[in-house]
Amino acid sequence: MMAALMSITGPTYGPAASGAPRQLVVLLHGYGSDGHDLLGLAPHWAQMLPRAEFISPNAPFPCELAPYGRQWFGFEGRDAQMILGEVQTAAAILNGFIDEQLAKRSLDESALALVGFSQGTMMSLHVALRRQRPAAAVVGYSGRLIAPDLLPQEIKSRPRILLVHGDADPVVPFQSLREAVNVLELVGVEVTAERRPRLAHAIDEEGLELGGHFLVGAFASGA
């Protein structure tokens, strides 16, 4: 009931070119942040994707540990099953948001990409793999798969995926990258993995370039 009643909003950017957007890139921020944080990727990628609109929704819940931030789900005092329950609640809210935004722009999933950082990557993967129709792409930075053991039974879509992770990440261990790739390949998802040497929990310039080029290629292949 909570998911059905809640809606989320966030800042937008673009398209850089005139006219209606032809692609929609949904940017999902990490734990304790908000939509304005990840929207900082948009001005760079808009040069590569001039007909794309970027939207960065604020996560639905106040962050437990950051007084002005937001969270998609909590970690404190929760076991894996409780976390999964909160992920599923947030996923229902996010799916409703995506459906609304696509309809508002008269676009379908072939024009959709999800981009996440950290907890936003976890949400991007969870949602995109379970939507009825595949998005063009998912780009995930410094994240991991939630409940990977459930994916073989729950997967409905197989979008193209790029995962980028720093090997010095102290927040989400770098080994999460290989664990995610193993499961995704097992269920037949086309996934590209990029290791960023000596990078902590962040997106660097090379990762930004990799993500932009991946989105361009994914949208072009679906055109």
Summarize pLDDT for 129-180 with one digit per residue, the tens.
999 999 999 999 999 999 999 999 999 999 999 999 999 999 999 999 999 9
91 neighbors 130 (Cβ within 8 angstroms): yes
Element (H, E) at 193: strand 191-196
Find the catalytic residue in 34, 124, 165, 169: 169
109 neighbors 134 (Cβ within 8 angstroms): yes
CA-CA distance, 145 to 126, in Å (whole number)? 7
Position 222 scores a pLDDT of: 63
Residue 119, CA atoms < 13 Å, CB-side half-sphere: 25
For 40, 135, 191, the CA distances from 156, given in Å and listed in that order, are: 31, 11, 16
Find the catalytic residue in 118, 124, 142, 176: 118
Quick check: helix, strand or coil at residue 3?
Answer: helix
Q: How many helices (H) and strands (E) does the chain have?
A: 8, 9
**Across the chain, what does the average pLDDT equal?**
94
Find the catalytic residue in 110, 157, 167, 201: 201
Please indicate, yes or no, whether the overall pTM of this predicted structure exceeds 0.85: yes
pLDDT at 1 over 50: no
Summarize pLDDT for 29-40 with one digit per residue, the tens.
999 999 999 999
Position 190 scores a pLDDT of: 95
Quick check: helix, strand or coil at residue 148?
Answer: helix
Taking alpha carbons only, the member of 16, 25, 15, 31 closest to residue 56 is: 25
43 neighbors 55 (Cβ within 8 angstroms): no
Is there a catalytic annotation at residue 118? Answer: yes
Instruction: Report residue 117's pLDDT band, with 50, 70 and 90 as the boundaries.
Output: very high
CA-CA distance, 16 to 183, in Å (whole number)? 37
Helix%, strand%, coil% for the chain, nearest 5: 40, 20, 40
pLDDT at 73 over 60: yes
What is the fold, at CATH topology level, of the domain defined by 22-222? Rossmann fold (3.40.50)
Taking alpha carbons only, the member of 179, 133, 180 closest to residue 158 is: 133
Summarize pLDDT for 36-64 with one digit per residue, the tens.
999 999 999 999 999 999 999 999 999 98
Domain ranges of the chain: 22-222
Instruction: Report residue 204's pLDDT band, with 50, 70 and 90 as the boundaries.
Output: very high
Instruction: Report residue 5's pLDDT band, with 50, 70 and 90 as the boundaries.
Output: low
